[in-house]
Amino acid sequence: MDSNRKKYTEANRQAWNEVTPYHQKANKERLYHLFAQPGYSCLDATITKKLREWGIAGKDVAQLGCNNGKELISLKNLGAARAVGFDISDSAIDEARSLARHAGVESELVRTDIYEIPKEYYNRFDLLYISIGVLPWMPNLIDFFQVAARILRAGGAIFIYEMHPFMQMVDEQRKEAPVQLQESYFRKEPWVDTDSLDYYSHTEYQASPKYNFPYTVSGLLMALISNGIRIEYMEELEDDISCCFTEIEKLKPGLPMSFILIGKKTE
């Protein structure tokens, strides 16, 4: 599994390196303008409320899959003591360093495959933040949460704010109702494609192959539980935090489009 896993994660590294310039072109000016405001946070009201309720001030925080660092910088601006972002993409980490410098926010940005986070980070964090669009890039959730549990201190928390895996079944190309289910919820094999990853400005370019991995709610819960993470809170939401399904989000009653999950390392 390890060599396969590396094959997948290195392919995905390449894909994220390719798309960063397109994302920068679409976003850089706006982000630099927003983060010039002292204390700025891009995190939405739902997750900000939960983070504040749990307590973020003074915590040592890490983000797994931090991309351009906008959420990590926001976590620091919400009061985190230490902010460390991990991401496999060279260009995303370069961009995150540059945004943090521009915002004048102290942070540590580490280019690494999450599965290979160095031992120096073990038992160092009070809170791990994992947000939209990270879990589907992980070939193996049990191993992923093993690393997450290792870098947390005992009593530390994992915060997940992700798209609901139910949405993996929905045809993303079909923007309007009625909703079409095109995939089995229980699909096992990865999706592989060479489509553009530019979900901001939708520039078409020939991407190198990238791999996404289906998962289920029970698969996620068992990956956490089997790594000594106790589930403290879970809420399924009708909100499309991906912006891929804005029309479907208007349907009532709504679909499970996203979720918040908080787990705690017990020992």
Binding-site ranges for ligand SAM (CB under 6 A): 9, 12, 16, 65, 67-68, 70-71, 86-89, 92, 113-114, 131-134, 137
Nearest to ligand SAM of 78, 88 (CB atom) = 88
Nearest to ligand SAM of 102, 251 (CB atom) = 102
Minimum distance of ligand SAM from residue 53's CB (angstroms): 21
Give burial (CB, 10 Å; 0-12/13-18/19+) of 267: exposed
Nearest to ligand SAM of 147, 229 (CB atom) = 147
Cβ neighbors of 257 (< 8 A, separation 6 or more) are 163, 164, 166, 167, 237, 238, 239, 240, 241, 242, 245, 248, 249
Nearest to ligand SAM of 22, 137 (CB atom) = 137
Minimum distance of ligand SAM from residue 153's CB (angstroms): 21
Minimum distance of ligand SAM from residue 253's CB (angstroms): 27
Nearest to ligand SAM of 163, 224 (CB atom) = 163
Cβ neighbors of 160 (< 8 A, separation 6 or more) are 130, 131, 135, 259, 260, 261, 262, 263
Nearest to ligand SAM of 73, 157 (CB atom) = 73
Minimum distance of ligand SAM from residue 243's CB (angstroms): 11
Helix axes 70-77, 2-35, angle to 10 degrees: 60
Minimum distance of ligand SAM from residue 265's CB (angstroms): 20
Minimum distance of ligand SAM from residue 117's CB (angstroms): 9
Nearest to ligand SAM of 89, 258 (CB atom) = 89
Residue reference for tokens 């089997």: 226
| Nearest position to ligand SAM, beta carbon | 133
In this structure, the strands spanning 191-193 and 210-212 are antiparallel
Minimum distance of ligand SAM from residue 39's CB (angstroms): 19
